[in-house]
């Protein structure tokens, strides 16, 4: 390994005036969000999602294999409980929209999710997931299929039909397309959404990802929230952008449990400008899904996290997308330090920790890729102290962003300060940055006894004086994730 000489960066002159006036408002506190779905965890979701590794090549066998590995690897014991299937579980014949049943609802792709006795293929997978002590999630988009509108299908539980609630305006669907917006004011509109959610509830769904959302979809978000409430089943509502802005943040906070506001974190696969043939079996011509991402591809989250911080809290969390850590640095596409930075930023923000990696070499995806958990990465994912930082449900606030160095901090109810000091340079041969701050900048009160400082990744513990000065050497793409405890 090449030795790099630390380079010092002083931030005192930049921060002195600002911190003196605004330390208290700068630091995040646990102001709760007002999610209406109720009955779900008041902490960020932890689990696994199919998209990053399986993409369009979903099957019951692959999902069951990954679910089993969530348990056998020990990840489930550390809190990773959700198994979420993404797009392509339903029948998609083409731009006419998804195939629908007699009530205008999507039909299961029974080739990949075959019936098991009296249970349909999705029910069978959900039952298996539940048998492992885990929870099961599924993918949907807002709107109604053009096929339902063309067939004028009746709406279950109402005297209205599909064509009476459709607007003819297009609604995002990234597999088939062929979806139309719903007129939320039309009689029967809520009953249609209720019928979908009731069906999902009967299948054993615990989590719904509602994708393709824009600023115009606020009525849809509210309708899905109402539908979950009336279903009688506790379900997480994850609202994911087609493209939306902070203008709808108050509505997301009211009606969703988490919301993803950034582009996909993956850099390879069928959604990255490849031929349409990548969307259909046998998926020939698609790139391997590895490497999953890169530091440069997701570093935009630093600004996104800062922009959305104030809207997050218990019951409603900012979602920064899937975690790429797990299969080793080559397959993640990130340096080891970048992997630590990804987990640190997500945990500082109390974001959902949803893994996108391959958990077991027993599963090969439709693109011919497979892996297994790297032991070093597994230690990162199961670092209990870092998980505790994520699960405190307090979103950290960005305190400074100066010359390739950033600091995010929050104060926990225990009065401990949590701080992440990031070196955002991407030149791995560059010298380390020496980043310096003070306990007061984190939001901690003065303590005449001084402070204990623990690095949550290395375990290193040190003591600092009552002056509260903290100084660390951080490598490119790296982070010092610290817990600062007043000794008095």
By the 8 A CB rule, do 267 and 293 touch?
Answer: yes
pLDDT at 104 over 60: yes
**What digits encode the pLDDT tens for the residues 124-140?**
999 999 999 999 999 99
pLDDT of residue 234: 95
Residue 324 CA: distances (Å) to CA of 141, 266, 334: 24, 8, 8
How far, CA to CA in Å, does 39 sit from each of 24, 129, 206, 235, 281?
32, 20, 11, 8, 39
Tell me, what's the pLDDT at 170? 97
Question: pLDDT tens across 191-215, in order?
Answer: 999 999 999 999 999 999 999 999 9
Percent above pLDDT 90 for the chain: 85
Contact 287, 268 (CB under 8 A): yes
Q: pLDDT band at residue 284, thresholds of 50, 70 and 90?
A: confident
pLDDT at 82 over 70: yes
What tens digit of pLDDT does each residue of 206-253 get?
999 999 999 999 999 999 999 999 999 999 999 999 999 999 999 999
- Mean pLDDT, all residues of the chain: 91
Q: What angle do CA 339, 7, 27 make, to 5 degrees?
A: 60
Average pLDDT over residues 394-417: 97
For 12, the token pair is 């005192």
pLDDT above 50 for 163: yes
pLDDT score for 278: 76
Residue 388 CA, chain-centre distance (Å), reads 17
CA–CA gap between residue 126 and residue 115 (Å, rounded)? 12
**Residue 272 confidence (pLDDT):** 65
What are the domain boundaries of the chain? 7-28+397-486, 46-391
Banded pLDDT at 13 (limits 50, 70, 90):
very low
- Stretch 260-286: mean pLDDT, rounded? 78
Note the pLDDT of residue 381.
98
Stretch 85-98: mean pLDDT: 95
Please, which pLDDT band fits residue 17 given cuts at 50, 70 and 90?
A: very low
pLDDT band per the 50, 70, 90 thresholds, residue 315: confident
Distance CA 23, CA 211 (A): 38
Domain 7-28+397-486 adopts which CATH fold? Immunoglobulin-like (2.60.40)
Extended strands (E) in 215-345: 236-243, 258-260, 317-319
User: Does 273 score more than 80 pLDDT?
Assistant: no
Query: What is the pLDDT, as a whole number, of residue 280?
Result: 76
CATH 3.20.20.70 corresponds to the domain 46-391: yes
Question: Which of 408, 392, 419, 433 has its CA nearest to residue 482?
Answer: 419
Task: State residue 270's pLDDT score.
Answer: 62
Q: How confident is the model at residue 6 (pLDDT cuts 50, 70, 90)?
A: very low
| 455-474 residue pLDDT tens | 999 999 999 999 999 999 99
In the prediction, which pLDDT does 388 show? Answer: 98
pLDDT tier at 2, thresholds 50, 70, 90: very low
Of 217, 220, 154, 482, the C-alpha closest to 348 is: 482
The set of residues, in sequence order, having a beta carbon less than 8 Å from that of 211 and lying 6+ positions away, is 87, 139, 140, 141, 172, 174, 240, 242
Looking at the predicted structure, is the pLDDT value of residue 176 above 90? no
pLDDT attached to residue 279: 73
pTM of the model as a whole: 0.92
**Residue holding tokens 């160095």?**
405
Nearest Cα neighbor of 195 from 218, 236, 171, 165 is 165
DSSP 278: G
Cα separations (Å) of 286 from 112, 275, 371? 19, 8, 18
366-402 pLDDT, tens digit per residue, is 989 999 999 999 999 999 999 999 999 999 999 999 9
Q: Residues 19-62: pLDDT tens digits?
A: 333 333 344 443 433 444 444 679 999 999 999 999 999 999 99
What does the pLDDT average to over 167-192? 96
Residue 340 has pLDDT above 60, yes or no: yes
């Amino acid at each position: 390994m090449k030795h790099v000489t630390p380079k010092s960066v002083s931030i005192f002159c930049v921060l002195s005036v600002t911190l003196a006036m605004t330390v208290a408002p700068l630091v995040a506190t646990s102001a709760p969000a007002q999610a209406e779905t109720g009955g779900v965890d008041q902490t960020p979701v932890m689990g696994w999602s199919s998209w990053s590794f399986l993409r369009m090549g979903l099957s019951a066998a692959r999902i069951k294999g990954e679910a089993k590995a969530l348990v056998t690897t020990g990840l489930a014991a550390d809190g990773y409980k959700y198994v979420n299937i993404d797009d392509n579980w339903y029948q998609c014949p083409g731009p006419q929209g998804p195939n629908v049943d007699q009530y205008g609802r999507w039909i299961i792709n029974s080739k990949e999710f075959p019936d098991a006795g009296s249970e349909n293929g999705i029910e069978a997978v959900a039952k298996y997931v539940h048998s492992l002590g885990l929870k099961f999630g599924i993918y949907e988009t807002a709107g109604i299929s053009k096929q339902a509108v063309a067939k004028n299908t009746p709406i279950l539980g109402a005297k209205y039909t599909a064509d009476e609630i459709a607007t003819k305006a297009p609604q995002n669907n990234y597999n088939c397309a062929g979806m139309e917006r719903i007129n939320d004011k039309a009689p029967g509109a809520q009953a249609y959404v209720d019928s979908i959610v009731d069906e999902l509830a009967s299948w054993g769904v615990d989590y719904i990802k509602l994708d393709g959302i824009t600023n115009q979809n606020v009525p849809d978000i509210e309708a899905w929230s109402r539908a979950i409430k009336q279903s009688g089943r506790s379900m997480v509502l994850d609202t994911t952008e087609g493209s939306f802005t902070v203008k709808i943040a108050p509505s997301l906070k009211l009606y969703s449990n988490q919301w993803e506001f950034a582009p996909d974190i993956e850099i390879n696969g069928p959604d990255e400008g490849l031929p349409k043939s990548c969307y259909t079996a046998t998926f020939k011509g698609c790139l391997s899904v590895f490497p999953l991402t890169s530091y440069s591809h997701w570093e935009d989250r630093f600004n996104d996290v800062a922009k959305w911080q104030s809207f997050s809290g218990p019951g409603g969390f900012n979602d920064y997308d899937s975690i790429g850590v797990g299969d080793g640095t080559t397959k993640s596409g990130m340096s080891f330090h970048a992997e630590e930075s990804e987990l640190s930023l997500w945990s500082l923000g109390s974001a959902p920790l949803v893994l996108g990696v391959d958990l077991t070499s027993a599963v090969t995806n439709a693109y011919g890729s497979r892996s297994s958990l790297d032991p070093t990465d597994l230690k990162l994912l199961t670092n209990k102290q870092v998980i505790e930082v994520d699960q405190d449900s307090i979103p950290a606030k960005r305190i400074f962003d100066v010359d390739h160095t950033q600091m995010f901090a929050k104060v926990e109810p225990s009065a401990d300060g949590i701080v992440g000091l990031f070196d955002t340079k991407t030149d791995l041969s560059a010298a380390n940055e020496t980043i310096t701050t003070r306990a007061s900048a984190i939001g901690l009160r003065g303590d005449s006894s001084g402070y204990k400082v623990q690095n949550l990744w290395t375990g290193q513990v040190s003591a600092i004086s009552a002056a509260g000065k903290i100084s660390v050497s951080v490598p490119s793409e790296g982070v010092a994730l610290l817990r600062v405890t007043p000794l008095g």
